């Protein structure tokens, strides 16, 4: 087999991944992985000839990518909140927009000393690890119904030496102590079972239980919103990521569940992606009968 140069291989494979939304980045990351080199090496070695074995490994990765397997599963790695997480097909690949949820939780957390935080559906542990790295005084309980997901989260907790995060297997709030948390956050499954996006090759490789939540995509949110008050301290916040077109029903669910100061945060495209509500201090607060002297105010954006 005639040996090819790094530059030629990059060019050839970018063209062959034309169906990917980010062919150049995918090829760059996969070639670094196959050659076990870093960005600096790849930038300065365009003319280097590639060993046959490395080229074969790279071509296999490109073939897998063509079948829609996410790059994170092929490299067992994904950056989230500047942390390199171990990722495999047992968990959802953490998305950049989930950092908006982390930012919203951090803003709410400023109001509490040593906040007790609950993250529901932790998957790879991305959110819990980001929160614990920013809030060294916080205790974070991170749950998932999937034992496989908890195994991946465990790998990541160890990798990032996160000793303040406790992992727990739970079906949403099952087995958790009521009235214990200052903040409850989640990026729950929120895709509708008939959503045509589920047919895109990438989503077909991710765990269904991390994506799909009933006919309208709101089953998980419904369960979380209806029970969350019982697990929050008075004045504690519920913070949820959702699809860009779910803000209205989710805000309505929060209002029905008597949350107050309900508002949403936008992603870079200007879509509402995270909704927040606060458990009132007094049960009748939600009906507009505020207790005199109550100084609660919404969290500024």
Ligand X SMILES: C[S@@+](CC[C@H](N)C(=O)[O-])C[C@H]1O[C@@H](n2cnc3c(N)ncnc32)[C@H](O)[C@@H]1O
Cα 78 from Cα 58, distance rounded (Å): 18
* Minimum distance, C-beta of residue 234 to ligand X, in the bound complex (Å): 25
Per-residue H/E/C for the chain:
CCCCEHHHHHHHHHHHCCCCCCHHHHHHHHHHHHHCCCHHHHHHCCCCECCHHHHHHHHHHHHHHHCCCCHHHHHCCEEECCEEECCCCCCCCCCCCHHHHHHHHHHHHCCCCCCEEEEECCCCCHHHHHHHHHCCCCEEEEEECCHHHHHHHHHHHHHCCCCCEEEEECCCCCCCCCCCEEEEEECCCCECCCCHHHHCHHHHCCCHHHHECCCCCCHHHHHHHHHHHHHEEEEEEEEEECCCCCHHHHHHHHHHCCCEEEEEEECCCCCEEEEEEECCCCHHHHHCCCCCCCCCCCCCC
Interface residue list for ligand X (CB under 6 A): 91-92, 94, 98, 120-124, 126-127, 143-146, 149, 170-172, 187-189, 209-210, 220
* Minimum distance, C-beta of residue 213 to ligand X, in the bound complex (Å): 8
* Minimum distance, C-beta of residue 190 to ligand X, in the bound complex (Å): 7
For ligand X, the closer of residues 28 and 86 by Cβ is 86
* Minimum distance, C-beta of residue 207 to ligand X, in the bound complex (Å): 6
Question: What are residue 144's DSSP bridge partners?
Answer: 169
Q: Do 190 and 221 meet the contact criterion of CB atoms below 8 Å apart?
A: yes
* Minimum distance, C-beta of residue 149 to ligand X, in the bound complex (Å): 4
* Minimum distance, C-beta of residue 243 to ligand X, in the bound complex (Å): 11
Q: Do 274 and 299 meet the contact criterion of CB atoms below 8 Å apart?
A: no
* Minimum distance, C-beta of residue 285 to ligand X, in the bound complex (Å): 29
* Minimum distance, C-beta of residue 128 to ligand X, in the bound complex (Å): 8
For ligand X, the closer of residues 146 and 229 by Cβ is 146
């Amino acid at each position: 087999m005639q040996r090819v140069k790094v530059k030629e291989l990059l060019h050839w494979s970018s063209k062959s991944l034309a169906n990917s939304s980010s062919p150049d980045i995918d090829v760059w990351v996969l070639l670094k992985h196959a050659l076990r080199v870093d960005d600096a090496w790849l930038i300065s070695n365009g003319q280097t000839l590639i060993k046959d074995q490395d080229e074969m490994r790279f071509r296999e990765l490109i073939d897998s990518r063509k079948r829609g397997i996410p790059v994170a599963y092929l490299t067992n790695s994904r950056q989230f909140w500047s942390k390199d997480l171990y990722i495999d097909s047992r968990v959802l690949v953490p998305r950049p927009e989930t950092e908006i949820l982390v930012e919203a939780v951090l803003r709410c957390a400023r109001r509490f000393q040593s906040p007790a935080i609950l993250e529901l559906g932790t998957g790879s542990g991305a959110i819990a690890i980001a929160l614990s790295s920013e809030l060294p005084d916080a205790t974070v309980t991170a749950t998932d119904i999937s034992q496989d997901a908890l195994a991946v989260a465990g790998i990541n907790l160890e990798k990032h030496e996160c000793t303040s995060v406790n992992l727990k297997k739970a079906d949403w709030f099952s087995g958790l102590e009521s009235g214990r948390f200052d903040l409850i956050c989640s990026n729950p499954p929120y895709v509708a079972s008939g959503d045509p996006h589920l047919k895109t090759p990438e989503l077909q490789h991710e765990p269904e239980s991390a994506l799909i939540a009933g006919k309208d995509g709101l089953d998980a949110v419904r369960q979380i919103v209806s029970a969350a008050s019982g697990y929050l301290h008075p004045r504690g916040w519920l913070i949820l990521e959702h699809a860009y077109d779910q803000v209205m029903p989710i805000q309505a669910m929060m209002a029905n569940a008597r949350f107050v100061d309900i508002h949403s945060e936008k992603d870079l495209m200007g879509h509402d992606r995270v909704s927040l509500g606060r458990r009132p201090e007094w049960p009748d607060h939600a009906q507009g009968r505020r207790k005199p002297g109550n100084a609660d105010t919404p969290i500024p954006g």
